[in-house]
Structure 1
Amino acid sequence: MDLTVLYRGLLASCDYDCPYCPFAKRRDSPDRLRADRAALDRFAAWAAAQTGDRLSLLFTPWGEGLVRSWYRRTLAELSHLPHIRRVAIQTNLSCRTDWLDTADRDTLALWCTYHPGQTPYDRFLTKCHDLARRGVRYSVGVVGLPEHLPAARRLRADLPDHVYLWVNAAEGHTYEDTEAEDWTALDALFPYSRAPHASAGLPCRTGESVISVDGEGTVRRCHFVRAELGNLYDGSYRAALRPRPCPLTVCDCHIGYVHLETLPLYDVFAGGVLERIPAAVRPGRT
């Protein structure tokens, strides 16, 4: 079975304090960090044991995972397993990058977000070029707030040509046509993010070939639908996997609507759905 798993454990702490994020500068207690590490180890052991399946894994922590050694180690180790097609994580790229030399860079990929005002521009750009030099697959993006547009334009000009720059529509922000055109000039796929997608009753791959898993092993179809399908570790979720329509009115997050069968995004991102790299983009070294 080909299965895509979105994992979100207990980690909620982040080293940034972005005003548009509810988890900014949150601190996890030592006990919570230990619990998150144990949960991640359990999930990694499950993934390693699924040799009869072909797995694609995306880690989507509420906080910043790669500043924690157990996330770096886990991604690197999972990347070497032959039945794992892709292992990727969303990150602000504030972490060290030398650990990537221990990973299989044909399997591992990064979904990086630049947050203006949270890190010096040159520091972030240097890390991006370091990823390219190491041959790491990665995309880079920004939240499409008006005040971020100059930084986004600068970033597009300074990034290697092969790196896809994505733009996420800011939650609650309405884009007039001229403003949307500015963002679309940077990211031709911005129209998919500009407004929520009507999804009620539409076919979606989540719950069939895509699942969401939390730190307890509870399986749901995606992060945004709370109904449970079973538990990962007792295998009870497998009997619940089947085609099913979306029960929500709209889907407004890329990690959700990318799986809608009514959108062409599996073709657009073929081979790079988890790391958000379009098929037309061919990573290379710079």
Structure 2
Amino acid sequence: MDLTLLYRGPLASCDYDCPYCPFAKRRDSPRTLRADRAALERFTGWAAGQDGDRLRILFTPWGEGLVRSWYRRAMVELSLLPHVERVAIQTNLSGRTAWLDDADRDSLALWCTYHPGQTPYDRFLGKALDLAARGVRFSVGVVGLPEHHGEAVRLRNALPDHVYLWVNAAEGHAYTDAEAAAWTAVDPLFGYSRHPHRSAGLPCRTGASVVSVDGEGTVRRCHFVRDELGNLYDGSYRAALRPRPCPLAVCDCHIGYVHLETLPLYDVFAGGVLERIPAGAPWAAGATGA
């Protein structure tokens, strides 16, 4: 079986307090952290035993995972498994990076978000340049708020040309054509994020070759559709895997709409769907402050 899994355990704590995030500066109890660690170790053990399958794994924690030792360990262990084609995680890049030297950097990748106001620009850029020097696959990006534009331009122009900088449309923000053009100068693919995508009744890879998994092992087609397909650990989900249309009116999150078959994003991001790295380089767009 060829399967992509989006894993999200109980972890919901973060070291940042971004005003656009409901989990800002949230603290998990020791009990929740223990549960999250046990759930992740169970998932990693399951993945290690699936050597007859071909797996791609993206960790999408509500909080920041890489400040926790068990996420770093899981990333390394999974990257070394020959049947894991890719293991990636969404991260604010606030944690250490030396642990990456123990991983297989052909299969490990990072999806890094820069949050202006939460970390000094020079510190984030230094971490990104460190990743590049270590040969780590990664993308970086920002939320497309007006106050972030200058910092995004500055970051785009400082990053190596091969590093893709993406821009997420800010939730609830309607972009004028001029604003959209300014963001597109930073991220040539911003148009895919600008508006939610109509998805009702359209074919999507989720539920067939892509699934989401929670800390209990409950399998759903994606993070945004609550219907259960079965459980990962008893294998009951396998019988439910099949092509099916999307039941939602629209899809407005990259980790969802990237899997819509009506969009060309599997070609755009060929080889880098999970870590949001497009095929081809360079990706420096010659961004300006206009």
Asked whether the two chains share a fold, i.e. TM above 0.5, the reply is yes
Any gaps of 5 or more consecutive residues in structure 1?
none
* Distance in 2 separating the partners of 1:76 and 1:119: 26
* Distance in 2 separating the partners of 1:101 and 1:77: 12
Q: Which residue of 2 aligns with 1:178?
A: 178
Aligned residue for 1:89, secondary structure, equals strand
Matched-pair contact (CA < 8 Å) for 2:161–2:281: no
Aligned residue for 2:185, secondary structure, equals helix
Aligned residue for 1:56, secondary structure, equals strand
Q: Which residue of 1 aligns with 2:286?
A: none
* Distance in 2 separating the partners of 1:161 and 1:108: 20
* Distance in 1 separating the partners of 2:186 and 2:154: 10
Q: Which residue of 2 aligns with 1:108?
A: 108
* Distance in 1 separating the partners of 2:219 and 2:29: 25
Query: Shift in Å at residue 280 of structure 1?
Result: 1.0
* Distance in 1 separating the partners of 2:227 and 2:19: 30
Aligned residue for 1:111, secondary structure, equals strand
Query: Shift in Å at residue 282 of structure 1?
Result: 7.0
Q: Which residue of 2 aligns with 1:68?
A: 68
Aligned residue for 2:3, secondary structure, equals strand
Deviations 1:150-188 (A, max 9, x none): 000000010111100000000000000000000001111
Query: Shift in Å at residue 281 of structure 1?
Result: 3.1
Aligned counterparts, 1:59-138, within 5 A: 59-138=59-138
Stretch of structure 1 that moved more, 15-24 or 272-281: 272-281
Query: Shift in Å at residue 248 of structure 1?
Result: 0.1
Following TM superposition, where does structure 1 have runs of at least 4 consecutive aligned residues deviating by more than 2 angstroms? none
Equivalent position amino acid for 1:85 in 2:
E
* Distance in 1 separating the partners of 2:277 and 2:146: 24
* Distance in 1 separating the partners of 2:37 and 2:122: 32
Any gaps of 5 or more consecutive residues in structure 2?
284-290
- Between the aligned residues of both structures, percent identity stands at 82
Normalising by structure 1, what TM-score? 0.98
Aligned counterparts, 1:223-238, within 5 A: 223-238=223-238
Query: Shift in Å at residue 19 of structure 1?
Result: 0.1
Normalising by structure 2, what TM-score? 0.97
RMSD (Å), alpha carbons? 0.8
Aligned residue for 1:186, secondary structure, equals coil
* Distance in 2 separating the partners of 1:74 and 1:51: 16
Equivalent position amino acid for 1:50 in 2:
Q
Aligned residue for 1:260, secondary structure, equals coil
Asked if 1:19 is matched to 2:14, the reply is: no
